[in-house]
Copies of this chain bind each other. A is one copy, B any other.
Amino acid sequence: MELGMVGLGRMGANMAERLVGHGHHVVGFDPGAKAREQATARRVVTAGSLVELVAQLLPQRVLWLMVPAGEVVDATIAELLPLLSEGDVVIDGGNSNYKDTMRRGAMLAGHGIHYLDCGTSGGIWGLKEGYSLMIGGDEAAVERLRPIFSALAPAPDRGWGRVGPSGAGHFTKMIHNGIEYGMMQAYAEGFAIMQRKTALGLDLQQVAHIWQHGSVVRSWLLDRTADALDRNPRLDGIAPHVSDSGEGRWTVAEAIDLDVSAPVITLSLLERLRSREDDSFADKLLAAMRAEFGGHAIKRSE
């Protein structure tokens, strides 16, 4: 099939390459000349503008957006809209908020354009291993794109599916990432306890490798943990500073909105916030309170 890839960053370029490798014709666009150049080297045809990109595709066109979630998606859609025709399909493969997706889908439906949301998991490994794809939107449109999804997924009939109406794909991906936060935090805590138990002299790298085979906690994330420990067994030089993108926050907000208590996913997010606190006001106040009521000594900051 023919597909236009909008956004040739790490994810977009990888996905374009995987599609090309499966015999699809991909025309890509990125505002950055370097990104376009690199994509060309990976056998992706590139266009110098969105206008050019759309011009190189025959209706009914398929446009895959792989751009940063948020305003960039809205801006891209606004720029694409006058260029598209009825029956074209736009897919948002990024980590958009599902509520934005529903709003965009309704708007584009008003113009006869199908808007699919495709939660895309697999990270930089997806290029080789295939991506897990959770798709929301019109059933017929999803069916039409079967060859695309089949190529991106690990196997034609596995690792992808339409999970519901517009927004359902991004909702499912949001939950996926919430779970990911919780799993990562569980591993991180477990390894941290072992690391602190110096009396036993545990070799974390070895433990990770043992657990990869036969254990109840084996997982793809454990494989990555083993890789990380192989690369840097004591994690030297790494700052204890954990970023978060939006999906963890959205999962927490959604859970509360639905009156579901999700303490582990929630705490996983809070721990990331905490990791970036250099000088916690709460902790300073606690120390000050202890001094006030109990005369306990305060440690002075440097």
Binding site for B on A (CB under 8 A): 10, 121-126, 129-134, 136, 153-155, 158-161, 163-165, 167-168, 171-172, 175-197, 200-203, 206-207, 209-222, 224-225, 227-229, 231-232, 235, 237-243, 249, 251-256, 258-277, 279-296, 298-302
How many angstroms between the C-alpha atoms of A206 and B178 in the bound complex?
Answer: 18
How many angstroms between the C-alpha atoms of A290 and B132 in the bound complex?
Answer: 18
- Within the complex, which residue of B125, B196, B241, B242 is in contact with A281, where a contact is CB–CB below 8 Å? B196
Contact present for A192 and B239 (CB under 8 Å): no
Contact present for B280 and A275 (CB under 8 Å): yes
- Within the complex, which residue of B124, B165, B193, B271 is in contact with A178, where a contact is CB–CB below 8 Å? B193
Oligomer copy total = 4
A176-B190 contact in complex given A214-B122, A214-B126, C-beta closer than 8 Å: yes
Q: B residues within 8 A CB of A263?
A: 185, 189, 263, 267, 270-271
How many angstroms between the C-alpha atoms of A302 and B207 in the bound complex?
Answer: 28
How many angstroms between the C-alpha atoms of A213 and B154 in the bound complex?
Answer: 6
Q: B residues within 8 A CB of A186?
A: 178-179, 181-183, 186, 264-265, 268
How far, in Å, is A244 (CB) from chain B's closest CB? 9
- Write the chain B residue with the least CB distance to A173: B215
- Within the complex, which residue of B161, B189, B237, B293 is in contact with A255, where a contact is CB–CB below 8 Å? B189
Contact present for A165 and B200 (CB under 8 Å): yes
- Write the chain B residue with the least CB distance to A98: B200
